[in-house]
Each structure stands twice: as structure tokens, then as C-alpha cells.
Amino acid sequence: MNKLVASSLIALAALGATAAPAAGITRNTLPATNGKPARILESVEVPAGATTLYVSGQLASPIDPSKPATTIADFGDTKTQALSTLNKIKKIVESHGYAMSDIIKMTLFLAPDPKLGKMDFDGVNAAFETFFNVPGNPNTVARSAFQVSALAGPNFLVEIEVTAAKVK
């Protein structure tokens, strides 16, 4: 170790210096558009010492779990599938002691809706806006969305993975 660094550390220890507590998570926002807060963040800074939860990609559950799910209609349109998936994610993060407000990063994988011939970005955003930038959760997330040719099964239109972080 460098003599200057070592002597500085010794001096700090002699003064009773301790490591500074971890700062909070910083959510760097985008400017509001048309008087509405931005849907997503520009970026997020997570300090050392924060705990992090990585949730694998989740898919929608069937609308009626008592029936066999064999068509897209059994899972619903993009908005319905996104709502189902976000509710599943909510249960997962809560089971690990986190909240939806702790989610900092979201990645969306969207298959083309056969009725539209492309991904239904409006549908997924409508579902997203029921969980973020709302009175129960004023936070939003850094987010990416990708149209993919297909997901794990032919009836899925939405897969979402998230990262949550919090300072204890």
C-alpha cells in the first residue's frame, strides 16, 4: 500500500472516522411532457450497500386458470397480459421484502399482437401506468422495450424482467 494512503487511513482511524452511511437511491428524471411526468427515468444511481433483487422474465397467467390455456385469447391482449405479469412481479418482489416502488429497472419483451401486426406499445404502457407514477407509487423506472419475433410460448405477448433495489 502506498505510504501516503496508509498514513491517511491511520490518521482517519485516530480521529474516529467511520464509513459514511449509504446515500439513498437517486432517480434521475426526464422532463415532463404535456404537463405529465415522464413515464420513465433517464437513469438510476444505486449506492454501495444497497440490496438488489433481480427478477427473471415473467409471463402472464391464464385469465381463467381452471381452463386449459391454448390460445392468445386465454391470456388476453397485450394490456391484459402486462397487467397479469406486473401483478405476478408485485407478488414476487413483495415476497422478498421489496415493493413496486423499489423497482428501478424494467425490460419489456413484446411479441407482435396478431391483430395489429406489431407490438402493442400503447397496451403495455396502459398497464404500466396503473403501477408507476400513481398515488400508491409515485416512482417510475429506467426502462427498455424490445419487439421480439416470439416469446417462450406462442400465446404470450409480454415478458417483463425487473431489478429492484433499496437502501436498508
Among residues 106, 167, 94, 100, the alpha carbon closest in space to that of 142 is found at 106
Kindly report, residue by residue over 106-136, the tens digit of the pLDDT: 999 999 999 999 999 999 999 999 999 999 9
Kindly report, residue by residue over 92-107, the tens digit of the pLDDT: 999 999 999 999 999 9
Provide the pLDDT for residue 93: 98
Indicate the CATH number for domain 22-166.
3.30.1330.40
Residues 6+ apart with CB under 8 A from 119: 78, 110, 111, 112, 113, 145, 147, 157
Provide the pLDDT for residue 10: 37
Kindly report, residue by residue over 6-62, the tens digit of the pLDDT: 443 333 334 343 333 447 999 999 998 888 888 899 999 999 999 999 999 999 999
Provide the pLDDT for residue 87: 98
Provide the pLDDT for residue 168: 84
Please state, in angstroms and rounded to a whole number, the distance separating the CA atoms of residues 86 and 59: 9
Q: Is a pLDDT exceeding 80 seen at residue 4?
A: no
Please state, in angstroms and rounded to a whole number, the distance separating the CA atoms of residues 168 and 160: 26
- Count other Cβ atoms within 10 Å, centred on residue 161: 16
